[in-house]
Amino acid sequence: MKRIRLVVAYDGTQYHGWQIQPGAVTIEAVLNEALTQLMREPIQVIGASRTDSGVHARGNVAVFDTESQMPPDKIGMALNQRLPEDIRVQVSEEVPSDWHPRKCTCIKTYEYRILNRRINMPMERLYSHFCYYKLDVDRMQAAANMLAGEHDFKSFCSVRTQVTDTVRTVYKIEVTRNDDDIITIRVTGNGFLYNMVRIIAGTLMAVGTGHIQAEDMPSILEAKDRRAAGPTAPARGLTLIEMKYEL
C-alpha cells in the first residue's frame, strides 16, 4: 500500500464545491470515480481544502491510498485522460503513508479577483466578480494591512461554521490593480475559516467604495460578530492558488 499526493487545478463553475454531496456533482466525487476506474480498486481521496460551490483552484491538494504498481509520477497524466477538461492533476507523487493534507503544517494562498470597470467583460465573468462602482485600491490596501497578523477572525467567518477556535494568522495581504482593471486581493495565511477570504474581499470592497472606513478594521475584528464586517463576496472571484507544505 502506498499513499499518493495530488495537486489538483479546477474550474469550479459547474461543481457544487469539493466535498461529496448527495445528488450533486463535486470535484471529490469526480476524482474518486476516475481514480477507481484507473486504479481498478475502490479509491476515496482526502482533500486538503473543501472549496465551496463555484470556487476555483490552481493548487488544491489531495491524497489517496492504492495497491497499484503504477509509477506515482505517471498517475497524474493517466488520470487526466479520464477527467473532464475543467479538472486537471498538476502533480502526482508518493508521500509517507501517514502524511495527511489537513493535519500537516501548511501555508495557503488565495486570490480574489474583481473586474472594476464601467461595463463587464464577458471573458472574465466566470473568474472574477464584476463591480461597477469605482474602488479605491489605496484605501483597500490600508484596510488590508490592519488584517495582517494573528487575530480572532470571528467577524470574518460565516455564522454556519462549526469551529470553536477562530484565531488565524494572515502572513500577507496585498491589493493590486492591473492594466485590465482587474483588482486582485491576494491573501496568505496558516488557515482560513469558512467564507473568511470572501468576507474579507466583500469588506475591502466596501472600504473601496467608502461605505466602510479603513480605520474601522480594528473595531470590526474586536466585535467578533459577523454583522460587523461587510458582505460575503460571490464565489466566482475566488481561487485557491497554492498550498505549501514541508514534505
* Residue positions forming the annotated binding site for substrate: 110
Among residues 183, 109, 199, 108, the alpha carbon closest in space to that of 139 is found at 183
What grid cell was written down for 17?
Answer: 464545491
Q: What share of the chain is helix, strand, coil (3-state, %, to 5)?
A: 30, 30, 40
Task: Mark whether 52 is an active-site residue.
Answer: yes
Q: Report d(CA 219, CA 207) in Å as an integer.
A: 14
Q: Which residues pair with 88 in a beta bridge?
A: 9
Q: Report d(CA 227, CA 229) in Å as an integer.
A: 6
Within 10 A of 170 (CB to CB), how many other CB atoms are there? 22
Q: Which of 52, 152, 181, 216 is catalytic?
A: 52
Q: Which residues pair with 151 in a beta bridge?
A: 168
**127 φ/ψ angles, rounded to the nearest 5 degrees:** -125, 10
Q: Which residue has the cell 495530488?
A: 6
Q: Which residue has the cell 484507473?
A: 38
**Residues annotated in the binding site, as ranges?**
110
Q: Is residue 240 a contact partner of residue 107, using CB atoms and an 8 Å limit? A: no
Give catalytic residues, as residue numbers.
52
